[in-house]
Structure 1
Amino acid sequence: MILVTGATGPVGREVARLLCGKRPLRLLARDPGRVRVTGPGVETVRADYADRASLDAALRGVDAALLVTNRVTEPDDARFVRAARDAGVRHVVKLSMLAVTEPAADDLITRTQCRNEDVIRESGLAWTFLRARTFMSNTLSWAPGIRTEGVVRALYGTSRVACVDPRDIAAVAVRALTEPGRHEGRAYGLSGPEAISAADQTAQLAQILGRPLRFEELTRSEAEEQLLRRHPRPVAEAFLASAERQRAGAKATVLPTVRHLTGRPARTFRDWAADHAAAFA
């Protein structure tokens, strides 16, 4: 049995879709009503990392698990690992981030992911880390501005990032979850096939949508104000620090891991945008 957490997010949902009908599968969600993957051998359970009883039930009979966490103020990874170890889980595949390998990255989110990796590494469980670069799907946050104004607003619009399609992360996760003995103790850095700027992404979206779009550069204070509307200050400051590292070139490196592990090239942003054009239309 494989357990997939984060089953309503871009990576977990795609892992579930790829495994549906091929392996016995249990999908964990705080709100099972939001899970969209169903099929033979697929079970959806309600659970929360802070509820040990629900974790115990979700992990019963599980051999391998995809672990996705995103609450930086909660010890969700430690809670999950304790329950997984007690349940006899063999292998945890953890969705992490490439920033943990950057010496200059010392923001709250990166420190949290470093601690999470340490917790898993020290747990005694077999592990695989998927250290992903920025998700291409993050640009979905631009959709309201594109639909209503034809405008994309972002900070440091000419800085480049080798963003990655969540579907490619999921393809690597499936390999790690279903090929015992090949991926344990490995940390995989995952990027897209090119480094691209927000301004270039805007231009590509305009071509795909067949309508003019305008890119507007945010000032740092404008970006900070927007972030603080949605996040606590330490999280907003972490995003701003990440943007500064991107401006310095820390996120432009292209890695060959997706091709090496899946046998096909990583998808480009244009590929991703064409497949998700309806979200911006």
Structure 2
Amino acid sequence: MIVVTGATGNIGAALVRQLNASGVPLRALTRDANRAQVPSGVEVIEGDPQHTETLKRSLDGADRIFLIPQAVGGTAPVLETARHLGVRHVVLVSSLLAQTHPESFIGRSARKNEQEAQDSGLAWTLLRPWEFASNTLAWAPTIRGEGTVRVPFSGLPSPAVHPSDIAAVAARALSEEGHHTQTYPLTGPQSLTPREKTQAIATAVGRELRFDEYHSPQELRRIADEAPDHTAQGLMVPGVCALESPGALSTVQTVTGSPARTFQQWVHDNSEAFN
């Protein structure tokens, strides 16, 4: 039995569909069962995962867990309960910033979560995704209302990863042997700037979009210099990467046997959000 936390999120919902299609018994843990549009046959556990009783109900009889720390309010209590109830393996969603920018706020938090998984007594697999392609959903309101993407700075090229690819790697790690103690850095197959992402959305929706950068590069540097932790804090704008990326990696194809989905594919899959 596999338990999927964050089952209504971008990764969790895709993972539930993929695991269900392969016939794996699973439970979807969610705070709101009405939002959990899961396939028939998937058991849904509703409740606050920070409550011990909810955790016990969801983990009873399970041997594997897909864990998104943000979905459960932290890793340590979940892992402790999981260990007591006989769960054997955790697949944890971390961040590639734990590797590329470990001293950043997000990098430090990700490393803390990873260490808790490694010290939990469970077998573990770490997923380290880069920026999500779905972060650009934050642009949808101004695209629909004004035909504009408005960001404070243009950002750097970034190989945003399709959430379904994170789910595909997770599905392999949860259902196959050979993934224990593995750490998987995950990116999309191409590095795009925010302006190039805007053009991809414009192509998908069939109309011109304006890209409006309302801070100059000089002002961005000033903001960065004054930020208490300028390697991540204060400069994390949805769809815009202020940090140098590791470049496109081949991990998705190596683990799943299929090429990583492009940003254009993600836009095609979600174009209704921008119309």
Q: TM-score, normalised by structure 2?
A: 0.89
Q: Does 1:82 align with 2:80?
A: yes
- Measure, in 2, the Cα distance between the counterparts of 1:242 and 1:54: 33
1:230-241 maps to which residues of 2 (within 5 A)? 238-241=232-235
Assess, with a 3 A threshold, how the Cα gap between structure 1 residues 108 and 3 changes in structure 2: closer, same or farther: same
What is the deviation of 1:176? 0.3
| AA of the residue aligned to 1:112 | S
Q: Retained in 2: the 8 A contact 1:47–1:58?
A: no
Structure 1 residue identity aligned to 2:9: G
2:200 matched to which residue of 1?
204
Give 3-state SS (helix, strand or coil) of 1:79's partner: helix
Shift of 1:108: 2.8
1:49 to 2:49 alignment: yes
Quote how far apart the aligned CAs of 1:218 are.
Answer: 3.2
What residue is the counterpart of 2:66 in the other structure?
A: 66
Q: Which moved more, 1:214-223 or 1:167-176?
A: 214-223
Amino acid across the alignment from 1:199: R
For 2:271, the aligned partner's letter is A
Partner of 1:157: 154
User: Does the CA contact (< 8 Å) of 1:193 and 1:268 recur in 2?
Assistant: yes
Inter-partner Cα distance in structure 1 for 2:246 and 2:193:
10
TM-score normalised by L of structure 1: 0.87
Q: How far has the Cα of 1:239 moved from its partner? A: 4.5
Relative distance call for 1:252 and 1:120 in structure 2 (3 A) is closer
Taking the aligned partners of 2:52 and 2:155, their CA distance within structure 1 comes to 46
- Equivalence map 1:20-169=2 (5 Å): 20-21=20-21, 22-40=23-41, 42-70=42-70, 74=73, 76-102=74-100, 104-169=101-166
Q: Does the 8 Å CA contact 2:97/2:106 hold for their aligned counterparts?
A: no
Aligned residue pairs total 265
Q: Which residue of 1 aligns with 2:7?
A: 7
Say if 1:234 and 1:143 are closer, same or farther in 2 by CA, change over 3 A. Answer: farther
Output the CA distance in 2 between the equivalents of 1:237 and 1:255: 22
**Does the aligned pair in 2 maintain the 1:14–1:170 contact within 8 Å?**
yes
Tell me the SS of whatever aligns to 2:75: helix
Partner SS state of residue 44, structure 1: strand
In structure 2, relative to structure 1, the CA distance for the partners of 1:158 and 1:242 (3 Å cut) is closer
Change (3 A) 1:169 1:148: same
Q: Among the aligned pairs, what percent are the same residue?
A: 40
Unaligned runs of 5+ in 1: 224-232
Quick one: which amino acid aligns to residue 39 of structure 1? S
- Look up the equivalent residue of 1:184 and give its one-letter code: H
Q: Deviations over 1:250-273 (max 9, x none)?
A: 215111001111111111111111
What does the per-residue CA deviation read over 1:221-273, in whole Å, with 9 as the maximum and x for residues that have no partner? 999xxxxxxxxx99999443456x9445x215111001111111111111111
Q: How far did 1:178 drift?
A: 0.2
Shift of 1:195: 0.6
Q: What is the DSSP-based 3-state SS (H/G/I as helix, E as strand, rest coil) of the residue aligned with 1:187?
A: strand
User: How far apart, in 1, do the equivalents of 2:4 and 2:255 lie?
Assistant: 20
Alpha carbons 2:98, 2:106 under 8 Å: kept: no
Q: SS at the partner of 2:245?
A: coil
2:255 corresponds to which residue? Answer: 261
Long gaps (5+) in structure 2:
221-226
- CA–CA separation in structure 1 for the residues paired with 2:76 and 2:63: 18
For residues 51-105 of structure 1, what are the alpha-carbon distances to aligned partners after superposition, in whole Å with 9 as ceiling and x for unaligned? 1121111100001110012279x5x200100000001001000011100002x44
